[in-house]
């Protein structure tokens, strides 16, 4: 339920949400829109995370180890930006 997620974002002061590389961003956009209607500043990270599958060739996440490093870097960069 989106309202429960918005409440969670508010309670824990979460201002950035991450999409997965192989999942549509539509549901995350709905979450962000709902949060903004409640006057919460929440944004979608510029880069998606790799979670269920490694990236394609030249993605910087071609294997499991590279995927973990890539995801950690994306998270760090997004949190610093806030």
Q: Which residues pair with 16 in a beta bridge?
A: 43
Given the structure tokens 């824990």, which residue do they identify?
A: 12
Q: What is the mean pLDDT of residues 42-66?
A: 82
Return the minimum-mean-pLDDT range out of 11-20, 39-48, 54-63, 72-81: 54-63
pLDDT digit string, tens, across residues 18-31: 998 877 888 899 99
pLDDT score of 82 = 67
DSSP string computed for 54-66: ---TTSS-SSHHH
DSSP 20: B
Q: Which residues pair with 43 in a beta bridge?
A: 16
């Amino acid at each position: 339920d989106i309202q429960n997620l918005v409440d969670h974002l508010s309670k824990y002061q979460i201002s950035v949400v991450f999409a997965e590389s192989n999942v549509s961003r539509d549901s995350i956009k709905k979450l962000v829109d709902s949060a903004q209607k409640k006057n919460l500043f929440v944004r979608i990270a510029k880069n998606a995370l790799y979670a269920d599958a490694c990236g394609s060739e030249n993605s910087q996440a071609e294997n499991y180890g590279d995927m973990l490093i890539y995801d950690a870097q994306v998270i760090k960069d997004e949190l610093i930006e806030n």
